Structure 1
Amino acid sequence: MRLRDWDANLRIRLVSEALLNTTFWMFFPFLTIYFAGEFGKTNAGLLLIFSQVFSVFANLLGGYCADRFGRKRMMVVAAAGQGISYLLFGIAQSPWLDSPMLGFICFTVAGMFISIYWPASQAMVADLVDEKNRSSVFAVFYTSTNISVVVGPILGSIFYIDYPSQLLVVSGLIGFALAFILGKWVRETLPASVAASRTADNLRWYHVLRDQFMDYTVIIKDRTFLLFIIAGIVLGQTFMQLDLLFPVYMSEMVNNQNLFSFGSWSFDIDGDRAFGLVLAENGLLVVLLTVVITRWMVKFKERDVFIASAVLYAVGIYIFGQTTWIWGLIIAMAIFTFGELVSVGIQQSFVSNLAPEHLRGQYFAAASLRFTIAKTIAPISIPLSGWVGYEWTFIILALLSLVSGWIYWITFKTYFKQRSLA
């Protein structure tokens, strides 16, 4: 499906979200190092776990609200909420206040609004794009996000280190701009039948909450979908370390070393810059290869693709924990990234196939529990590295990735059985 054939909603979002994502990645990769420096590794890990608990509940709420109040409305609210959070975070990091705890609270609230935005955003794509083209559209959005992952950390190494407060304030203003653009030029896509069913009853808030949990109970009874979520949560312990354990590991363990030389000129790199380099490598590979690999992967069985992804993640993260040589880390990151690429394009399509139309927003919200719950648990790796050492921490993460591959095998065994009985 060519970009010019996309609905205007999607083209507007692609550009505006790219700008907000770029500013986000200008400061986000450095926050784990910032919090670890301010609170200590153990406390920082526990605080990050605590912050993600709120994101889990916000994610569930976002899915329900996307189906009840509309995709557009929830996206506007979430974008404005991110803007306020970043603005206050910038003030918290300013020289005249300098409050790490207030900054952490703002970081937590921003994460909640991101969790509210995501299911409405994904549901809008499913509303507007037919099933056969969804994988390619999701892949383009994912590529756009990863262009931000390449550009953001490079700009962040220039601006965030010297101007953290100003950068966060600018990010807040961009959040407000996104909310305005969404409110002004994006139309609602919630199917009329779903909107009618959601608004027919004038329920009080606690009745809405009760119905919300009842809806999620129905989803959890979908055994295939439940196994898919569990596998994603286990696998998430691996890929979530890109923003958690990796920067701390490289900051502490990678010494200043020569990346390459040309005659009398050489380029040396320390741990922090090495992290920025491998993060940019990850984003660049995703930008260049997501669409190509997604088109390639749709030729294979979904089961085999998910299992291959888990194995590649395991190999990549194991190698990562066995070396501090910068070129070894670059090779490990390439393998790690291919684990990400082989499955990214088909994940959302698989969820779309499982989800009934009237629960589409909530299915996407429940599917994103793979990330929110994984991100809630994943920060334990930071204090774990202090308890058992980095090498064993990376080995444990690699083993978890292999376990997720086994769960994916069970998931599709159940899926094929259900389809044969249907």
Structure 2
Amino acid sequence: MESYRWDLNLKVRLFGEGLFNLLFWMYFPFITVYFARTLGVELAGLLMAVPPLFLLIGSLIGGSLADEIGRRPVMLVGTFAQGILFLAFALSTNAYIDYITYIGIGFMGAVYKPASSAMVADLVPTEHLRDVFATFMASNNIGAVLGPILGAVLFFEHRQALLLGCAVVLFGYGVLLAALTHETRPASPEKTVAKTFRTQGRSYATILRDPLFRLYLIAGVFALIPIMQLDVYLPVYLIEQAPATFDVSNTVLFGWLVAYNGLLFVVFIMPVTRVFRAWDERRVFLLSTFLAGFGTFLVAFSSNIWYLLVVTTVFTFGELIRSSVSQSFISRYAPAESRGQYLAADTLQNTIGKFLAPVTVLVSGFVPPYAVFTLILLSALIGMGLYAKLFQQLTQQDG
């Protein structure tokens, strides 16, 4: 393994983020079901469309702060703030307070993420970015293997202990970040937080004036909506709406599918990254979007466990193929001094996608599942068309 991968900053993050993600995947896949049960399906569908707005704000703020005051302080604030919010979530006895703390956790996680990605891009040569981002994704998805299986029981029966565990892990990870990591931001004139907030709006406006970058973001929104359904509509469908066809509860069945999704990531993220290393981004994005959309659409036709494992394989490989390409593309494209802001702007597609994805939960209260899954497939087809247009224009521009 190349020496840059052994930088202490990267090793601390691999360990800390991997450990936290084990606990994260014990609660996150079931959060929509939790709010649907406590607040009602229709209200939950509406409320789950709100957190992405806070993710958007958090990403933009975190990206600007990462470029202006440094990656490390932003990561520290994001980590400790999430720990405090998880503690509040664990001690809460009110569903609406739970919802508010859930929004806060997402917000501070969004502040953390651009700085974290920018730190990787600071330390790793451009030609190795796909491999390194893939390594982090593999580490983060190790928890996705066991997490959902354990969470299917622990989240609903021992929710307080699980959330307290998340808080403890985050506090411990924050201590490691403070003690063992160093700043990686490229040298530039010192900036203050106040100045950052005054100037970040103009900075993002400049980035978003690029018509090709805007098209890239819009295409990404439609492409990501099918991928996000594993955490949004699929738990509602499989746990609350699908007929039982196996000798376990549908909750446990869904936990197995999420674990299988994580296992595929752990096993195949590096081989898939190597196999598709020679592919251009156009083919990667088109194939990924098709597999994710069509694979999710196929869930509608049976709730048999073996059938669901096959279609989970299809839509998971769609996510796998694109997972390391998007970040490496933006990291390579962005100027070093603006890398955090570009990575934050790149998360706009993820944030807007999360805002729109819960529409499927809301719609499911009025139409049958086949109609919802058709809507998901349509989103993927629109994304493919926009990607084709994007890369056609990029080819013309380069020519």
Note whether the superposition's TM-score is higher than 0.5.
yes
- 2:363 is aligned to 384
- Check whether the contact 2:245–2:303 (CA below 8 A) recurs between aligned residues: no
- 1:278 is aligned to 257
Instruction: String of CA shifts for 1:154-195, please: whole Å, max 9, x gaps.
Output: 2223432321111111211111111111111010001113xx
2:135 to 140, 147, 154: 140
2:149 to 154, 162, 174: 154
1:225 aligns with 2:213: yes
Runs of 4+ in 1 over 6 A off after TM superposition: none
- 1:372 is aligned to 351
User: Per the alignment, in what secondary structure is the counterpart of residue 365 of structure 2?
Assistant: helix
1:181 aligns with 2:160: no
Deviation at residue 306 of structure 1 after TM alignment: 0.6
- 1:337 is aligned to 316
Deviation at residue 24 of structure 1 after TM alignment: 1.2
RMSD over aligned Cα atoms: 1.5
Deviation at residue 353 of structure 1 after TM alignment: 1.9
Report percent identity of matched pairs. Answer: 37
Change in Cα spacing, 1:6 to 1:411, as seen in structure 2 (3 Å) is farther
- 1:81 is aligned to 81
Gaps of 5+ in 2: none
- 1:298 is aligned to 277
- Check whether the contact 1:85–1:110 (CA below 8 A) recurs between aligned residues: yes
State TM-score, norm by structure 1.
Answer: 0.91
- 1:249 is aligned to 237
Deviation at residue 4 of structure 1 after TM alignment: 7.6
Q: Which amino acid aligns with 1:290?
A: I
Deviation at residue 5 of structure 1 after TM alignment: 4.3
- Check whether the contact 1:14–1:144 (CA below 8 A) recurs between aligned residues: yes
Instruction: String of CA shifts for 1:256-285, please: whole Å, max 9, x gaps.
Output: 333xxxxxxxxx222111111111111111
State TM-score, norm by structure 2.
Answer: 0.96
- Check whether the contact 2:78–2:109 (CA below 8 A) recurs between aligned residues: yes
User: Per the alignment, in what secondary structure is the counterpart of residue 139 of structure 1?
Assistant: helix
- 1:235 is aligned to 223
User: Per the alignment, in what secondary structure is the counterpart of residue 303 of structure 2?
Assistant: coil
Deviation at residue 240 of structure 1 after TM alignment: 1.0
- Check whether the contact 2:45–2:359 (CA below 8 A) recurs between aligned residues: yes
- 1:168 is aligned to 163
CA distance in 1, matches of 2:38, 2:84: 23
Deviation at residue 343 of structure 1 after TM alignment: 1.5
CA distance in 1, matches of 2:5, 2:72: 21
Q: Counterparts in 2 of 1:22-421, with a 5 A limit?
A: 22-92=22-92, 98-193=93-188, 196=189, 199=191, 205=194, 208-258=196-246, 268-420=247-399
**Number of residues of Structure 1 aligned to a counterpart in Structure 2:** 399
Instruction: String of CA shifts for 1:306-363, please: whole Å, max 9, x gaps.
Output: 1011111121011012222222221111100111111112111111122111110000
- Check whether the contact 1:254–1:270 (CA below 8 A) recurs between aligned residues: no
User: Per the alignment, in what secondary structure is the counterpart of residue 269 of structure 1?
Assistant: coil
CA distance in 1, matches of 2:169, 2:279: 40
CA distance in 2, matches of 1:377, 1:3: 41
Change in Cα spacing, 1:414 to 1:4, as seen in structure 2 (3 Å) is closer
Deviation at residue 3 of structure 1 after TM alignment: 7.2
User: Per the alignment, in what secondary structure is the counterpart of residue 105 of structure 1?
Assistant: helix
